Structure 1
Amino acid sequence: MPASETPPAVGRAAIPWMLVGIWLLAVACGRPAFSANVMRAQMDSPGGCTGKYLDYLLARQEEKRGNWEEAARFLQKAIACDPDSSYLHRELAMVRIHQKDLPGAVQVLEALLAGDPKDVDAWMMLARIQQQAGKPAAARSSLEKALALDPERRDAYLLLGRMYLGDKNWPAAQAIFQQFVNRFPSDFAGHFFLARIYETQGRFADALTAYQRSIELDPSEEEGRYALIRLYQKMGRDDEAVRQYQALLADNPHNARAGLALALHYHQSGLGGQAAELMARFARRSLEDDEVLGVLVRDYLDGSADPQQARILLEGMLAAVPGHSDLHYLAGIVHDRMEMDDEAMAHFARVDADSQFYEEAVAQLGYLYQKHQRIPEAIDLMTEAIRQRPGNTDFRLYLGGFYEAQERYAEAEKTLLEALAMEAKNVKLLFRLGVVYDKWGRRPECIERMKQVIALAPRDANALNYLGYTYAEMGIRLDEAEQLIQQALALKPDDGYITDSLGWVYFKQGRYQEALPVLERASRLAPEDPVILEHVGDAHRQLGQVTEAVDCYRRALERKETDRQPLIDKLRKLGADVP
């Protein structure tokens, strides 16, 4: 830190600093009792605010432990004694950021800048917070002030230029990075970002020159070399692109990013033998180096990536090492994203229990089995997974859900209670057990479980809604039911099922005029749900709107696969034909 910013401002008494030094030595030597006595001596020492030194050190200790509230408290005490210390204010702002209190951090920095508007570090911190808070105009203004005060601030140019790039304001970005290059001509970053701008503008010759210059300045910075490769490919200069890939591999034969990209390029160019050789090489490498898997995930499984490219690479790699569980998991993810469920299930099923992705593969495969109504296979899968990972309560949660789907409620209860014996306060398990009790006809026990969930997680919208709806279905405690559901709706205002619950409470209270628009909104939010449609029909019927009620009942019946008789009975009572 700069000498002028030694925290806090060095003051009058040597004794407090001597005590702090003794305290640090005591901590380092593992003498907590002695160090505590030293701290007490520091706090009790004469001189008014001499405790600020200790407050600062205590704040740093709390920061290291991640106790941000305590760190803030000690820093505020130190600032009260030394209100002119820029360092302490910036330290407090950083603590506020760790507390996820961005407005608090802004308040601290604005107070600092009001007293010292030339504090460049404070302007830089404020700009980053404003950017994070989604206030780009304010962030740009703060960065411009920082640059006006200190034109040598490299990080200010880079942050401001990147902000303009993010806004696609190419002229402004170009102006900033040109200033950067003029001031720091030997810094690769300015040339690299100028090259990106030129490439976006279609000025490929200028981009090529700038990329090459950035590589000359820092050959170890690979991002420039990959950008150059992409530019060569855009320009149709594939031979140059291949030479760049080969140069990267010559520098580092284990460079998975270059190797896999070159393999894909060979495949797309019809050079199947060379592609297969590279895929096999990095497939074998992946058995001992997780970086290969990391490249696959970052470059080919990202949400914006083309899944077909990942599929080509993974199939080629699995051809070389067909028993590689981790590659099978990634292949399962790719096929799932491509909605090729059979292939996804086949890959997930080949992930062995010793794979780092075993638990994720089991969860994915269980979901797909459920999606395709293959519940017996899902039960077998989870039973074996529990044998392999007896401490994994999620597997018991899934298994309980599969038993529930087959109406095997006693087995579901047993499975979930086993999991709760391991994690008594697991709200997912408690909620699922409550649902099982509800379907089993044991509503008092359902209510008790939902109350437990809410006690542990007062903002659990699903539990609030479930308890409120259960009361409504039973016709009891309707005022409390309304309060619970209103709380849930405040948390999930556009949830069709919670909206339906509120309308159903109104219905049960006899408030049919109020119930109808709420239920109709629920039906718009969840248009395929037959129960909600039936509720809308019930409200129409109570209001004497027979035609509308019949229409709702018919549409509900079309969507309902089981328990259809109540709807049929309602249609017949209204004298309507049953489709």
Structure 2
Amino acid sequence: MKPVLTSAAFAALVCLTTPVMAADKAYTSAYGDFLVGRLAAAQGDTETAARALMAAADADPANAALRERAFLAAVLSGDMSFARSHIPTNGGRLSRTVAAQVQAIALIREGKGKAAAAIIEASQKAGAGDRATLLLKPLSYAAARQWDNAIDPTLESQLSAGTTPNRDRLVLFLQAANQARLLEMKGRHAEAEAIFKVICQPGPASVLFGPYYGAFLEGRGRKDEARKLYTDILGVSEDRLVRQRLEGLDAKDYRKPKSPDVRLILADSLFLSGTLYASEQQSEMALATLRLAQYAAPETAAATPTLDRTRLLAGQVLMRMKDMQAAQTEWASIEPDSPFYREAQVRAAWSLKEAGDLDGAEALFTELSTADPKDIGLTVERARLLWQKDDTAGALKLIEAYQAAYGDADFGWETWFTVAVLYQASGDWDKAKAAAQKGLTLQPDSSELLNLLGYGLIERKENVTEGMTMIRKALEKTPRSGAIMDSLGWGYYQQGQYVEALEWIEKAIAAEPADPEITDHLGDVYHKLGRTIEARYQWARVLTLEADDKQKAAVQAKLDTVTVPEAKAVAEAETAPTAKPKIPVKTPAKTRK
């Protein structure tokens, strides 16, 4: 969990900034707020940082650098009212570019498209060439009803040429999608469809822009074509809005979607631009662009899905920026009737889990699972939470109750992996093995399942040769996994090949130096090689790591038995239960055995 700005921290800052003379009051107040803002920003608290920096800027209006910081902080927090009233006058290129975008969107909201277009033109002449500026330019002309400037007659030929670099081509496709929708607004349907057909060819682009074409087809009364398009999109990627449109085609209260307006087109395109920034790991640019999308969206019911989709992604970006509180606020703003509500709640629960609030996460997942008891994913998440809380029996009870009620036809390989881990932890190896084998029928190359099953066969000396084959296959798929390296080393250990075992387990400990089970195994190998001092050192290290009680007891028994002067056999300790596997937060990719 991120650090919090405590009262002690505030007190320290106040002491640092207490004025010595009355004349210094304004300066020290501004400086104090500035320090609070810097501290909050360092802790990932964008909201507190923004409030403090904005207060500092108001207290010291002549400070241009502070004004610029406060402006950018306001944009990231979504306070466009403050941002617009504190436009930096001599800021850097980034702040000048974003300032022009904020001003232009504000003017479009006020119906002053001509003034918005002038600002974007000036920004572009000053060197702004980012995605948001390129997307804003024709839309600001459209808002000004200057259609000759808004519509680029060369755009279709640029699309057909296909000579632009991939990154520029993405921007070109965004511009093309906007132009097709503007042409639809103007009633120039043939021209709009010509562009839609180019950008909605089967492939990734159809997932992004196909929904706009589908709405266009519906608007023309061509429901069957829209249905096929939506079905094709869902065959590539699940999209809640597309699913909703597809299911709504046959509803009794079906209504054609309305033609888009400039602000909705702008909000949609800024959202997609923010998505690209997020995929490029440019978190601050992604968040700023998503805030602009929220600001641009019209206050209409038609814009609600766009807003909710933007809030969902903004929450994800804020989590990447380590601001869980702001992320939770974004997700909480999505209403229960939204198609994005469930996903927002799931992400909120995941974030609580990652922050260590297992009870809060469990409450959210339980609420969601109660509302949708047939969703195996929600049941598995609840089971994983109980596992993390050391309630293996409770986790298995949930899974078994689901199987009794609904069967296991919906189980994917990850679910079977979770089931295998739980049965292994409960001591029922036969059921664990059966679950792992079922998972492998669905995903034969799963390194997680191969490692779990292979290690189990090796550890129990049930079939060491087969287990080693599985482990080698798993290592081919995930060559940097310390857990799998350790499994291979342990296979050599069980066969008495201690030199080979040492090679792999030392590689494993280099990859995962704080893993208690690998550390324990390293001690065992050192012991077999007669390196007793090193063995005792590794076993002692296990007691300082996050090992469970059984593993600590087994290690302590080794330390009590094996002394430096007289090394004795530790067969009992070597056959002690191993550490329980770890179930990951979202996928089993990082799981130990």
In the superposition, the TM-score normalised over structure 2's length comes to 0.48
- When Rg is computed on C-alpha atoms for both structures, the one with the higher figure is 1
Pick 1 or 2: higher relative contact order, CA cutoff 8 A, min separation 6: 2
